[in-house]
Structure 1
Amino acid sequence: MQRITQYDGLYGEANTQPDAEYLFSELLETRSQSFDWVIQPHIHARLFQVFFIETGQFNFQEASRERQLTGPCLLLIPPTALHGFVYNADVRGRILTLSDALIDALFPSGSPVTAMLGSLQCLSIVQGPYSAERVSELIKAIDDELFDDQPEKRLMLQSCLQQFFLVVYRLWQESEQTGSVTNNLSLQYFRKFQQRVRQAGTTQTIAQLADDLAITPVHLNRICQAVSGKSASQLVQAHILDEARKYLTYTTYSISEIAYLLNFEYPNYFARFFRKNAGLSPTEFRERQTKI
């Protein structure tokens, strides 16, 4: 039987006793590289850790299983949770380590966030509003404050940490509401599809969007139906209609200009599309908005 090592401090550090306000931030690759990219399964008795894997692949071992993951993703590892890693050498990210007492001070037992913090979480980061870039910025703000010496440092760190964990909580809530798990490929495909739609508008067909994701149009439609209850085509049309409404409400572009901005070949195609989906013409819709 493999012996599981318990660390009071960070991995590989013996005879360390972090205090109640312990907080440490480090690049993931710094410690991992020194152990030849292999972190043996271990536990921390009194430490909570956040692993933000920005890029790269790795194998993650927990108590009940081992799985292969790809960044960007977040791992939340509470005290006494078994965890180990085998990283590819190109992995990049950052690790936050906090004492369990500090976590309790940030989010007392009555906080809804404690439901997330009580067990190991693995969250894929696919799209905004909380993108990988946004998560990276929040962690960087914690790191900058931690290793600087500005007035009211303790209060600022508390604020930065609470903001970070609340963003993670929202990511977790989104994952819970959609029934997602980390390896839910269908949801990952769906989110990537949504991102493509926002970027491409009407410039790509469903077949082209599916090809971008390396899946068939039939598979894409199954995913969209399972996640949203709508076909891929319906979701694209809903996005275009929403964009059209924004242009008509908040800009002074002419109907023809909006049609071309939305990549319609002719303005009358756009007018026909809008009437079919909104129940009135673009002109009628704009006139109603000006009266509100």
Structure 2
Amino acid sequence: MQKITQYDGLYGEASDEASERRSNAEYLYSELLETRSRTFDWIIQPHIHARLFQVFFIETGQFEFQEATRKRQLTGPCLLLIPPTALHGFNYNSDVQGRILTLSGALVDSLFPGGSPVASMLGSLQCIRTFQDPYSGKRVSGLIEAIDGELFDDQPEKRLMLHICLQQLFLVCYRLWQHNDEVGSQENNLSLQYFRKFQQRIRQVGTTQSVAQLADDLAITPVHLNRICRVIANKSASQLVQEHLLDEARKYLTYTTYSISEIAYLLHFEYPNYFARFFRKHTGLSPTEFRESHQPRQ
């Protein structure tokens, strides 16, 4: 099994090169997709970024996109929004063209606080493949190029302008996302919105809140939340909380070098032994045993 790497900075950077990415809450970088991909023979191995959010806009060309649970064959134009800790990898055709924006998770959070509906979209990996007026692929490309131009220029109030440009880009992404997800009746759409907000809250708070508290955050009852979860996922709210935590724990144990205590902290467990007890209950193995059993063979 291939070991999946975690980067504090950009793909392929050594840890000392990534220090700015790690410490700068306003970090923002723009580059042509072809530049870095060509360096690695058009293959970007599956990896995660602990603190960085990325926007990939593939204008033309075909590529294979690997997520945590599947691979997809995609063709440009295609817009990918990849939040921190989301596993991703690429195998590009050599004629692919596009651009990548990389920004700190803290900057994204400052642009759209948790209560914003846009934050709900940005909390999970999104793949937008349908573009239509007034939000064509050409317009999205223009917004990203405007950010690139502002970033590498030195005009007055540069920071404010960049924030405005980023907000405009993400709002356009949000409208495209809403259009792509328009299925079923208004009631079903509302249920989907609740379900996505519920998933986002799980990622934010982990085990620090009960299902009742999570439902209260959404301004609905626990019974209503469970009904939504069973209709959409055929599972209870508590089962989905546990599954998310287990999936994240397995990912960290398999693909990163975080200690057990660090993983417990990342998953919002109060104490490492609480995390270890939870993991053994649901897998039959301690976190250490699971990690040792999933080490790559020499």
TM bucket (normalised to shorter chain) is 0.5 to 0.7
CA contact (8 A) 2:130 2:180 kept: no
CA contact (8 A) 1:74 1:125 kept: no
> How far, CA to CA, are the matches of 1:100 and 1:47 in structure 2?
5
Give the drift of 1:177. 1.2
What pairs up with 1:263-274 in 2 under 5 angstroms?
A: none
Pick aligned residue for 1:46 from 26, 43, 51: 51
What pairs up with 1:64-79 in 2 under 5 angstroms?
A: 64-79=69-84
Tell me which of the two structures has the higher relative contact order, counting C-alpha pairs closer than 8 angstroms and 6 or more residues apart. 2
How far does the alpha carbon of each residue in 1:156-206 deviate from its partner, in whole angstroms, 9 at most, with x for none? 000000000000000001011137xxxxxxxxxxxxxxxxxxxxxxxxxxx
User: Which residue of structure 2 aligns with residue 173 of structure 1?
Assistant: 178
Pick aligned residue for 2:37 from 32, 35, 38: 32
Could you tell me the percent identity over the aligned residues?
A: 77
What pairs up with 1:63-102 in 2 under 5 angstroms?
A: 63-102=68-107
User: Which residue of structure 2 aligns with residue 157 of structure 1?
Assistant: 162
> How far, CA to CA, are the matches of 1:120 and 1:167 in structure 2?
16
User: Which residue of structure 2 aligns with residue 11 of structure 1?
Assistant: 11
Q: 2:125 is matched by which residue type in structure 1?
A: L
Give the drift of 1:108. 0.6
SS of the residue aligned with 2:176?
helix
CA contact (8 A) 1:108 1:114 kept: yes
> How far, CA to CA, are the matches of 1:2 and 1:89 in structure 2?
24
Unaligned 5+ segments in structure 1 are 180-292
Give the drift of 1:126. 3.5
CA contact (8 A) 1:6 1:43 kept: yes
Q: 1:137 is matched by which residue type in structure 2?
A: G
Question: What is the TM-score when the length of structure 1 is the normalising length?
Answer: 0.60
> How far, CA to CA, are the matches of 1:109 and 1:81 in structure 2?
18
Which stretch shifts more, 19-28 or 120-129? 120-129
> How far, CA to CA, are the matches of 1:128 and 1:71 in structure 2?
17
How far does the alpha carbon of each residue in 1:212-256 deviate from its partner, in whole angstroms, 9 at most, with x for none? xxxxxxxxxxxxxxxxxxxxxxxxxxxxxxxxxxxxxxxxxxxxx
Q: Does 1:148 align with 2:153?
A: yes
Give the drift of 1:127. 2.3
Pick aligned residue for 1:59 from 51, 55, 64: 64
Give the drift of 1:43. 0.2
Give the drift of 1:85. 0.2
CA contact (8 A) 2:45 2:89 kept: yes
Q: 2:134 is matched by which residue type in structure 1?
A: P
> How far, CA to CA, are the matches of 2:145 and 2:159 in structure 1?
16
Q: Does 1:109 align with 2:114?
A: yes
> How far, CA to CA, are the matches of 1:64 and 1:41 in structure 2?
11
How far does the alpha carbon of each residue in 1:42-81 deviate from its partner, in whole angstroms, 9 at most, with x for none? 0000000000000000000010000100000100000000
Give the drift of 1:14. 1.3
How far does the alpha carbon of each residue in 1:70-110 deviate from its partner, in whole angstroms, 9 at most, with x for none? 00010000000000000000000000001000000000111
> How far, CA to CA, are the matches of 1:154 and 1:164 in structure 2?
15
User: Which residue of structure 2 aligns with residue 20 of structure 1?
Assistant: 25
What pairs up with 1:119-130 in 2 under 5 angstroms?
A: 119-130=124-135
> How far, CA to CA, are the matches of 1:128 and 1:32 in structure 2?
30
Aligned length: 179
Unaligned 5+ segments in structure 2 are 185-298
> How far, CA to CA, are the matches of 1:110 and 1:53 in structure 2?
30
SS of the residue aligned with 1:108?
coil
Give the drift of 1:125. 3.2
User: Which residue of structure 1 aligns with residue 228 of structure 2?
Assistant: none
> How far, CA to CA, are the matches of 1:127 and 1:157 in structure 2?
25
> How far, CA to CA, are the matches of 2:179 and 2:122 in structure 1?
15
What pairs up with 1:204-243 in 2 under 5 angstroms?
A: none
Give the drift of 1:139. 0.4
CA contact (8 A) 2:131 2:176 kept: no
